[in-house]
A and B are shown apart, each in its own frame.
Chain A
Amino acid sequence: MKKTVFLGALTVAGLAAGAAAAATLDDVKARGKLNCGVTTGLVGFAAPDANGNWDGFDVGVCRAIAAAVLGDAAAVEFVPTTGKTRFTALASGEIDVLARNTTWTFSRDVDLKFDFLGVNYYDGQGFMVPKSLGVSSAKELDGATVCIQTGTTTELNLADFFRANNISYEPVPIETNAEAQPLYLEGACDVYTTDASGLAATRAAFENPQDHVVLPEIISKEPLGPLVRHGDNDWGDIVRWTLNALIAAEELGVTSANVDEMAGGTNNPEINRLLGTEGTLGEMLGLDKDWARRAIKSVGNYGELFERNIGENTPIGLSRGLNAQWTNGGLLYSPPFR
């Protein structure tokens, strides 16, 4: 009798586990909210504004997905994650998608069982130092004390860079960007290192940004993009193609301002397929035909999202660089909507 009960418990546990792994899309629809993992606060990428509303470049991706799936860009529950907690949060199902400038690496994709769904920012690791130090190259940093966010790829790149150049350093591990700022400003570390975009965003928040320089060396490739759990390919497709829709929209000249007008029908068939006036792309994803239109309408196309949050006219002041469309010499290249 004891054995039967035990076997019964096992079966129930097995069924429960099986059910938990099923369609994320259904879960999100049933919940009416998208759980999106973001940073604990990095101005320009993901940070709450004065009214407590999350805003930023990564936040825009979350809102676009929510608009495509649920029809409401505000139906997002933002879950702040640190470099340490993000993967556990995603793997355990606490969040549906992680949009937290996370570097796409082999081991994360393969060994940690996640699916990276494209790149929304091509980045590289850089160094920021106070101008007063008079340092002009990262190779002059022998013996320096370096503040570094723990649990990120930057930690490994840093070790590799200093070892390859045969110079020494003293790492000071920090949990979040917010904790690193005062330590760097008070001089507890000489150098702050993270992705170059993060450095620009951090510097923008300083009282005197002009007193600090970002060194020219970019020591790594950091393709940042959204990711989901491995195994739910339908959900992965939705996130992948929402991101692609934003990128393609810029390439095709669809903006949040003219998307409604274009949805009335254009003589460009690809725009028509994207916006649902031709073909059944939305139905193939398990959504309706207006999915991409809603996403573009709510956050704008990739270019708008970039310029509004981190572009050259914002305090962060990043230029498009590698993140320009392929037609402008950048790396952004959305597969065709066909």
Chain B
Amino acid sequence: MATYSDPPAESFKLSQLINDTRYRSYTFQVIALIGIMLLLGYLISNLINNLQAAGLNISYQFLGEPAGYDINQRLIEYSSQSTHFTAAIVGVLNTLLVAVLGCAMATVIGVVVGVLRLSRNWLIRTLMSVYVEIFRNVPVLIWILIIMAVFTAVLPQPRDFRGANATASMVGDMFAFTGRGFYAPMPYFETGFAQGAAGWVVVLAVLVGSWLAARALGRWAARTQEATGQRPTTWYITAALWLVPLAVVLYVQGLAWEYPALKGFNFQGGIFARASLIALWFALSIYTAAFIAENVRAGILAISKGQTEAAASLGLRPNRIMNLVVLPQALRVIIPPLISQYLNLTKNSSLAIAVGYMDITGTLGGITLNQTGRAIECVLLLMLFYLTISLAISAVMNVYNNAVKLKER
């Protein structure tokens, strides 16, 4: 007589991998994984073999060699004697510049248009629909080219400002709008104790100080209101906190303006915003704004009508209902698709070469690639850059999304 105290030990059979539902999905996943790895291995080995057959190797040494070409828009020190790496950094900064400017402007236009699409005014509503449909349904490259073409064809060129019977003139001797770009006066410090960029750091420090002081004042006003029920009038103190220190520091440093003037072939002096930057920025902004407008509209429509009615019954006016009740809730719906629009805009900025804007695709992926012939290396670096930037934007926007999303306790 045997006693059975334990259940019989399960013996594992190979057929269970297919027939047993507990293991079946693992079996297929492992097979698929092996397949994917083999495919990747084949592609990589194919690349290496072909490179070897062609006598090429992967090397990043070229990044340390002099680039030899000039770049028109550079945010850091760069000359044709700088390295390819510096040229790539110049391109990265140009990409980031147009991406940041583009995202900011696209958001502003997109939110305004999205709200106006729901307006009760028939004309405004229809105009906004027309805008969205036109800009959303034509490729962004076409928009970039159209805007640049309009820019160069409509605006006068520097040669039109020249001579006795010039056909164009500067606006108030301060601004010049040419087909090559916009010129504006540039502020600088004449006598300051801190020269150049350091002078602006001082100004920035003063502004931060003003902001801290204004915030402290606001808190004090709020405390007073809570204690006494009366909110002290502070707006003139706030204005003074902002303006007086700023005026003093600007005066002490000797603020002066450098005006652009026609010298030789071009305007010289002042701030110069190139036509390529403006055209690219504008085209990317209005194109992406059309998509953002739809996101915003969808977000607003997702808020139940009861919210609006409840707010209205409390006596809020339509503007305040939108700002205080509807938009904050709508943001939860708007933010996730907005992230992809920012990513799209950043990646679309790689079309910059169409207007001769030297972004990273133009420097590293264009001229450097061509002059060195290191196509694979350059393209790998480009992919790495866009991947990093996109993931960084996603990360930042996800943090913001977590801050505004519905918090359930």
Q: Give residues in A with beta carbon < 8 Å to B.
A: 2, 5-6, 9-10, 12-14, 16-18, 20-21, 83-84, 87-88, 91, 107-108, 111-113, 132-133, 141-145, 150-152, 155-156, 158-160, 162-163, 169-175, 182-183, 186-188, 190, 229-231
Contacts and interface: CB of A to CB of B under 8 A. Distances in A.
A6 B80 contact: no
B49 A13 contact: yes
Contacts of B50: 17, 20
User: For A2, A132, A158, A172, which residue has the most chain B Cβ atoms within 10 angstroms?
Assistant: A172
Contacts of A5: 38
Interface string B293-329: 0000000000000000000000000000000000000
B53 A17 contact: yes
Nearest to A135: B265
B236 to A, nearest CB: 48
B34 interface: yes
Contact of A87 (B70, B158, B373): B373
Contact of B152 (A20, A87, A132, A186): A186
Contacts of A142: 264-265
B371 A6 contact: no
Interface stretch (B334-342, B351-359, B394-402): B351-359
B68 interface: yes
Q: Is the interface of B mostly helix, strand, loop or mixed?
A: helix
B234 interface: no
B366 A187 contact: no
A229 B50 CA distance: 13
Q: Which 4 A-B pairs have the closest CB atoms?
A: A187-B157, A151-B370, A159-B80, A112-B373
Given A18-B53, A188-B180, 17 more contacts: A6-B38, A9-B45, A10-B45, A17-B46, A17-B49, A17-B52, A21-B54, A107-B373, A113-B55, A133-B159, A142-B264, A152-B370, A155-B367, A163-B81, A172-B72, A173-B358, A182-B149
Contacts of A87: 370, 373, 375
B362 interface: yes
Contacts of B129: none
Nearest to B179: A188
Given A159-B69, A169-B70, A9 B38 contact: yes
A231 B79 CA distance: 37
User: For A111, A112, A150, which residue has the most chain B Cβ atoms within 10 angstroms?
Assistant: A150
B55 A186 contact: no
Contacts, number: 139
A159 B264 CA distance: 20
B380 to A, nearest CB: 15
Given A10-B45, A87-B373, A143 B264 contact: yes
Contact of A144 (B52, B70, B265): B265
Interface in B144-200: 149, 152-153, 157-160, 179-180
Contacts of A160: 68, 80
A72 B401 CA distance: 66
B362 to A, nearest CB: 7
A156 to B, nearest CB: 5
Nearest to A152: B370
Contacts of B80: 156, 159-160, 163
Contact of A145 (B266, B372, B373, B375): B266
Interface string B32-66: 00100010011001100110111110000000000
Contacts of B79: 163
Contact of A156 (B45, B68, B149, B353): B68
A229 B56 CA distance: 12
Contact of A173 (B34, B45, B356): B356
A251 B133 CA distance: 65
Given A9-B41, A13-B49, A159-B70, A187 B179 contact: yes
Contact of A150 (B54, B159, B362): B362
A321 to B, nearest CB: 28
B388 interface: no
B153 A186 contact: yes
B407 interface: no
A143 B263 contact: yes
B369 interface: yes
A91 B55 CA distance: 11
Contacts of B157: 186-188
Contact of B353 (A13, A111, A150, A230): A150
B126 interface: no
18 contacts: A5-B38, A13-B45, A16-B46, A20-B50, A91-B54, A107-B373, A132-B159, A143-B263, A145-B265, A145-B266, A151-B371, A159-B70, A163-B79, A171-B70, A188-B275, A190-B159, A229-B54, A230-B55
B42 A156 contact: no
B31 to A, nearest CB: 11
Contact of A171 (B72, B160, B369): B72
A112 B372 CA distance: 8
B38 A231 contact: no
Nearest to A159: B80
B221 to A, nearest CB: 52
B100 interface: no
B115 interface: no
B268 interface: yes
Given A13-B42, A143-B265, A169-B70, A150 B367 contact: yes
Contacts of B356: 172-174
A230 to B, nearest CB: 7
A39 to B, nearest CB: 15
B203 interface: no
